A and B are shown apart, each in its own frame.
Chain A
Amino acid sequence: DAKTTQPPSMDCAEGRAANLPCNHSTISGNEYVYWYRQIHSQGPQYIIHGLKNNETNEMASLIITEDRKSSTLILPHATLRDTAVYYCIAKEPDYKLSFGAGTTVTVRA
């Protein structure tokens, strides 16, 4: 049911920026894109969401392309504690959020 696609895994060096891509070419014009992450065996944690403007908070930045077909989550200075599965998801019309397989991000020292 998920309308987003992400790479299955990626590595990142500690202290460097991590750029996580997400394709969502079929979402409609009024559907938000949400990002969550799940650290091993814990409940998922909300990171950020956006519609068409770029967004930034204390955790990350979200860059959404002008055509809204893709977005990138940026962790500006990755730490070992950012190692997690990152989910890019779109809200479906019936208000549920469907989580796909996500991207497993491994931050290496």
Chain B
Amino acid sequence: EAGVTQSPTHLIKTRGQQATLRCSPISGHTSVYWYQQALGLGLQFLLWYDEGEERNRGNFPPRFSGRQFPNYSSELNVNALELEDSALYLCASSLDRGLDTGELFFGEGSRLTVL
């Protein structure tokens, strides 16, 4: 069974551009979570999608947005890129919306570099 897959693995952009990152959850998982991990720091919660709806978002500006498609895959968009947006963006999926099983399955991440 395929795990959570993310693309692209690496992405280089310049300030002011837009970046789009994609995530395919494990088959059967309806919840998708996005996290940002700047170099040397912990994971910061970005967004949570479930059943196609945005359920929660972290303390990030509106230029961070996304969506979840009918097949439960998800896209994260970052507009007007700034240097500090350079980070590893991690996607995770869960079978259980309430996380009672405790398990988020993470992908390997997309590393975004803003020059």
- Show the binding face of A for B, using Cβ within 8 Å: 1, 32, 34, 36, 41-46, 48-49, 87, 91, 94-102
Q: Check if B42 sits within 8 Å of A96, measured CB to CB.
A: no
Hey, which chain B residues are within 8 Å of A45, CB to CB?
A: 106
Looking at chain A's contact residues, is the secondary structure mostly helix, strand, loop, or mixed?
loop
Q: A46-B105, A96-B58, A97-B104 are in contact. Are A91 and B99 (CB under 8 A)?
A: yes
B57 to chain A, nearest CB (A): 9
Interface size class of B (residues with CB under 8 A): 20 to 34
The answer, yes or no, to whether B35 is at the interface (CB within 8 Å) is yes
In the bound complex, how far is the Cα of B56 from the Cα of A36, in angstroms?
Answer: 21
Q: Check if B48 sits within 8 Å of A101, measured CB to CB.
A: no
Q: Check if B90 sits within 8 Å of A44, measured CB to CB.
A: yes
**Nearest 3 Cβ contacts at the A-B interface:** A43-B106, A49-B102, A99-B43
B115 to chain A, nearest CB (A): 20
